[in-house]
Amino acid sequence: MEEGRSITYSPAYTLVPTYECFNRCGYCNFRQDPGVGDWLGLEEAGAILHGLQNSGVVEILILSGEVHPRSSRRPAWFERIYQLGELALSLGYLPHTNVGPLSWEEMERLREVNVSMGLMVEQVTPRLLETVHQKAPSKRPEVRLQQLVWAGELRIPFTTGLLLGIGEEEEDWVESLKAIASIHKQYQHIQEVILQPHRQGATQSYEEGVREEGQLLRAVALAREILPPEIALQVPPNLVGDGVLLRACLAAGARDLGGIGPKDEVNPDYPHVQVVALQEAIAPDGWQLVPRLPVYPQYYDWLPQSLQEAIGGVVERVQALAIPYSRPNSP
């Protein structure tokens, strides 16, 4: 049987310890005010994870709003994140944590229970601190880039990316991509870069965004030109929204579709496109959807021995999820 050209995705489920966040980004559809809502308990999380055990889920994305670094509740918040990683590992999943900027000590400890971690750079231009990030102190570019440096120093396989359409210009994409490429050149630890177009959500009034498909394609082309070839480019198919445009992004150099699960917690108005529908969307151009782990193979030996053993127990499971490739019909 002819093999298709591979496009990867991660079979994933998102656990949210808390939606509360001390930032107030102008475009956010995720956050709640501090003190609103209960944190996710370990018993509830355990029940969720037990219920997923025959679903094919491999990655548990631990995604959280941010408790202020100087808050008296920060240690409890961090401990809950760590415990969720432990719990996921104990039940045969591979955790990936993205919870905002962390201290060196927090990153070092989370490395024990995560096969990879992530944080969006978004954009490095300081102009956004006067607009959509005016009330978001952890979105300062130097804070985001410091996380990438620390992840490299700690040898943490890392995912980052750009948020497109929040008031930046094309030259800002170039600057942001060059900053990521420069840090990766030093540490070789960036496994993928997400190009995430902002889409209007129900709970925010910010109305800008990547409105023209040519803009997204231009961003993909620039990223493929600027970033080293070993860094995978990811586009979120639920935010692309159109099979023709999605295939154009793949032709321009995107090779990953990210975590696919029941709900996009950051963009709840845009449900994830599920795997069978995704395969149908990309098949006309001969692409084959292939499941992957939340850590790329070249980084397996960076991980603590316990996590390497955890990966060994999951590889066969993720391979069994592959959809058999069939040659697309000729037009």
- CB of 113 closer than 8 Å to CB of 82: yes
Mean pLDDT, consecutive 10-residue segments, the chain of 331 residues? 74 97 92 90 98 94 97 97 98 98 98 98 96 95 98 98 95 98 98 93 61 84 98 96 92 97 89 92 95 97 97 87 63 43
Superfamily name and number for 5-303: Aldolase class I (3.20.20.70)
Q: What is the pLDDT of residue 331?
A: 43
- CB of 293 closer than 8 Å to CB of 271: no
Burial of 160 (0-12, 13-18, 19+ CB in 10 A): buried
Centre a 10 Å sphere on the Cβ of residue 212 and count the other Cβ atoms it contains. 10
- CB of 312 closer than 8 Å to CB of 29: no
Distance CA 70, CA 168 (A): 30
- CB of 314 closer than 8 Å to CB of 293: yes
Q: What is the pLDDT of residue 302?
A: 98
Q: What is the pLDDT of residue 203?
A: 63
Q: What is the pLDDT of residue 210?
A: 56
Q: What is the pLDDT of residue 3?
A: 46
Q: What is the pLDDT of residue 325?
A: 58
Q: What is the pLDDT of residue 130?
A: 95
